[in-house]
Copies of this chain bind each other. A is one copy, B any other.
Amino acid sequence: MKTLLLIAHGSRRAASNDEVRQLTQRLNVINPLGFSGVETAFLELAQPSIPEGLAACVAKGASEIVVFPYFLAAGTHVVNDIPEAIQAFQATHPQIKVSLTPHLGDSDLLPQAILQVASAA
């Protein structure tokens, strides 16, 4: 059972965090092929934290977790913080397979997304 865990930065603004939670809900409605579900976690400033998000995947039966950094730039959070959190989790959960995808900013679809929004202006 494979779960997608979307990790966002987290914000002091509740509305920003809710935007991310709504996106996760939209992903769950799409019900992506190969994934039993999609969960959210926040690096800081919001709940669930990354360890809590990983634990929630396990509690729901995940044997495999694909971590997706919902970040536009490959800053310290993407390069260091998220991999370290995964490593710490793996040390206590060696039976769970965890993989880390490239961050959103790396997606080939971003230019299309931008131009779609810009063309509608």
A interface residues with partner B (beta carbon < 8 Å): 4, 6, 8, 11, 13, 15-16, 19-20, 23, 26-27, 30, 32-35, 66, 68, 70-76, 99-102, 104-121
Contacts of A117 in B (CB 8 A): 68, 101-102, 104, 106-107
Contacts of A114 in B (CB 8 A): 6, 23, 27, 68, 70, 104, 107
User: How many copies of this chain?
Assistant: 2
Contacts of A112 in B (CB 8 A): 109
Check B106–A76 contact: CB distance below 8 A: no
Check A26–B75 contact: CB distance below 8 A: no
Chain B nearest CB, measured from A31 CB (Å): 10
